[in-house]
Chains A and B, each alone.
Chain A
Amino acid sequence: MAPLRFNAMHFMPYVHLPENHKEFKTTWVNFPNKFYDPEKGHELYQQYFEQLVLADRLGFDAIVLNEHHNTVYSMMATPNVVASALIPQVQKARICVWGVPPNFMLPNRLAEEYAILDVMSKGRLEIAFPLGTGMEYWSNPVSPVTAREKFRESLKVMLQAWTTDGPTTHYGKFYTYRFLNPWPRPYQKPHPPCYIVGTGSPETIELAAELGFGYSSVFVPQKTALELNQRLRDRATHYGHTIRPEQLPLLNFVYVAETQEQAEGEYIIHLQRFFEDYARSSPQWLAPPGYVSLEQLKIRAAGSDRMHGGFDFKAISGSFFIAVGTPEKVANLIGDWATRMGTNHINSVMHVADMPHWKAVKNMTLFAEQVMPRLRSSGGAR
């Protein structure tokens, strides 16, 4: 297998939750934005940018940004703005915008923004296309009922914009382009590496397979992630594509410390707050009408959605990709995951919830200096 690749992913949460925040059923969609203090927000951006620039200096292969709306979970409502601020500071690492839900943008405009980032970074951009969580549909004036259809058409427009010399035309259900001819065009040819990111809806996997895109499952148990990777490989073969290991980013949560006790002591409280407070949503927010098929809805209704509220560290770290401990333990876990999942692409969240700056810096430093070398020398295949 090709050498492992390491990403540092960040959510850039707004960490100053009000004392009484537990009184709010969710911290998404209708959580009052009066609780956002821009002065504190400014300080947080400074810290988070510092962390991602440090990731580059420490030798991480990529930094990863993403988009969410109306929530403390993320201060990256528009990640391309954040990416453009980071590009001049992040000198070697690839810049992953994973990503903007195309449904909330005009597709030509998103194609342009990504092309600009790719040209500015001299071909270091990578893109993931999320449908957008249910919460984003409550927060944007776009119908969840036709979301999947629109998503598909947006991707078609963007790929056409990047791969066919313009001007071209597009007459679709949602968009009409008489002159699709965006300037600039991407630095990488035919376009930056593309992934689809999601929680494993069959429709989404099928689309990734059809387009030969990578796929990153997020917030699904290990067992499901394994099945999804296999399904993508199988379905991609059906469309004449071969999925390479690097096309299967493995989202995981990592905290490294000197001892196991220290790692758990320093980390678990933040991970707990991440799930209980920052990811606190509701069934209504997660599945607006038409966002999932009736079949999927019934599956969701039958089982409770553990990833959004409710926390049991042992249970969670047993079924999801969470590595907390000494460098050796973390390296072993990641090596095993990579082998089992058939990937060499390790996408690690190095900062969660209200983790203070020093812990994030220490975590990334120990990871870069003591975990990455162990895995790079082993080549990932154990």
Chain B
Amino acid sequence: MSKFVREELTVNGVKTVVYTAGTGDPLVVFHGAGTVDGFDFAEPWVEKYRVIFPYHPGFGESDDDPSITDIHDYVMHYLDLFDALKLDKFNLVGLSMGGYLAAKFASEHRHRIKKLVLIAPYGLYVPEHPTADIIAIPGEEIVPMLVSNFETFKQRLPERPDVEFIGARYREATSFARLFWEHPTDPKFPRYLHRIKMPTLIVWGDEDKLIPVQQAQTWRKLIPNSEVMIMKRAGHIVQHDKPETVEAIGRFLG
């Protein structure tokens, strides 16, 4: 964590916080809908890459932008942020909702992405292996569903959820609901995934309780140059349960 430098930018009038560490080839990480798990997992990549971890508007340390109402608005936000950061081509890693955003970005701006990593990405409607409706699951039930090894994950949570913690989760749930309450998935999204041509790694935990591991194969079929890496005894936050996932992704990135 100490290696990361915090930077505040104003993007379309919205305070956007970006953490950066390392030099070398840029590697952007898109977080998921909850920022409890932080980004210190990305430390091993810092040796080789300039790791860039932005907080999406509406999440973590960035301010709210209620005018962002669908995933494409986030794509447009990142076009502006990457301009400000003078980022042209980069590697992109997305987790969960951040995986959906990463895939969306890559399908529209493939020339800018060198390699793509999707970790348990949200966003596909797979009727035979449906994503849990995370909006409908009570907060206290969803947290244990995030990982296989809840005992170690607990250390990242307050012992008793206080008002600030509850407020932060409510805020992020609101930002998520702003996009997905009425339409959890976009039926047109898979139609354009074939435009993702760069080498793509799809990572999943075989004990994912939110987005079933079987969806990995659907993603693989839709993205031409993709491969799947399944981590055993890992839940939705794969890298928490299996820290070696981070090294394995590093090897894929080269």
Contact = CB atoms under 8 A, between A and B. Distances in A.
B171 interface: yes
Contacts of B181: 143-145, 289-290
Contacts of A146: 178
Interface stretch (A221-229, A234-242, A293-301, A305-313): A293-301
A284 interface: yes
Contacts of A144: 177, 181
A298 B163 contact: yes
Contacts of A287: 170
B182 A141 contact: yes
B173 interface: yes
Given A142-B182, A289-B135, A301 B174 contact: no
A145 B177 contact: yes
B150 to A, nearest CB: 20
A289 B177 contact: yes
Interface residues of B, number: 17
Given A284-B138, A289-B135, A289-B176, A143 B182 contact: yes
Nearest to B141: A284
A302 B171 CA distance: 16
B177 A297 contact: no
A141 B180 CA distance: 12
A288 interface: yes
Contact of B166 (A138, A282, A288, A301): A301
A193 B135 CA distance: 38
B177 A301 contact: no
Given A144-B177, A284-B138, A289-B176, A294 B170 contact: yes
Contact of A294 (B135, B136, B171, B178): B171
A10 B199 CA distance: 64
Residue from the set A138, A290, A298 with the largest chain B CB neighbour count within 10 Å: A290
Given A144-B177, A144-B181, A302-B163, A289 B138 contact: no
A280 to B, nearest CB: 15
Contacts of B38: none
Contact of B170 (A142, A143, A289): A289
B104 to A, nearest CB: 20
B186 to A, nearest CB: 15
Contacts, number: 47
Interface string B133-168: 001101100000000000000000000000110110
Residue from the set A144, A145, A282, A297 with the largest chain B CB neighbour count within 10 Å: A145
Contacts of A288: 135, 177
A239 to B, nearest CB: 25
A289 B167 contact: no
Contacts of B178: 143, 145-146, 290
Contacts of B170: 287, 289, 294, 297
Nearest to B140: A284
A287 B181 CA distance: 14
A142 B178 CA distance: 11
A301 B167 contact: yes
B135 A297 contact: no
Interface in A298-346: 298, 301-302
Contacts of A297: 166-167, 170
A301 B169 CA distance: 12
Contacts of B163: 298, 301-302
Interface in B12-37: none
B204 to A, nearest CB: 26
A138 B170 CA distance: 16
Contacts of A141: 182
Contacts of B173: 289-290
A289 B180 CA distance: 11
Given A145-B177, A289-B135, A298 B182 contact: no
A380 B178 CA distance: 47
A298 B168 CA distance: 10
Nearest to B137: A284
Given A284-B138, A297-B166, A289 B174 contact: yes
A333 to B, nearest CB: 36
B146 to A, nearest CB: 17
B167 A143 contact: no
Nearest to A137: B181
Nearest to B167: A298
Interface in A240-297: 282, 284, 287-290, 294, 297
Contacts of B171: 294
Contacts of A282: 138
Contacts of A290: 173-174, 177-178, 181
A13 to B, nearest CB: 25
A227 B182 CA distance: 36
A150 to B, nearest CB: 11
Contacts of B176: 289
Nearest to A141: B182
Interface in A141-161: 141-146
Contacts of B177: 143-145, 288-290
A294 B170 CA distance: 7
Contacts of A145: 174, 177-178, 181
B62 to A, nearest CB: 14
A144 B167 CA distance: 17
17 contacts: A141-B182, A143-B182, A144-B177, A144-B181, A145-B174, A145-B178, A284-B138, A287-B170, A288-B177, A289-B135, A289-B173, A289-B176, A290-B173, A294-B167, A297-B170, A298-B164, A298-B167
Given A289-B135, A297-B166, A301-B166, 4 more contacts: A142-B182, A145-B174, A289-B173, A298-B166
Which 5 pairs across A and B sit closest by C-beta, in order of nearness? A289-B177, A290-B174, A289-B173, A143-B181, A289-B174
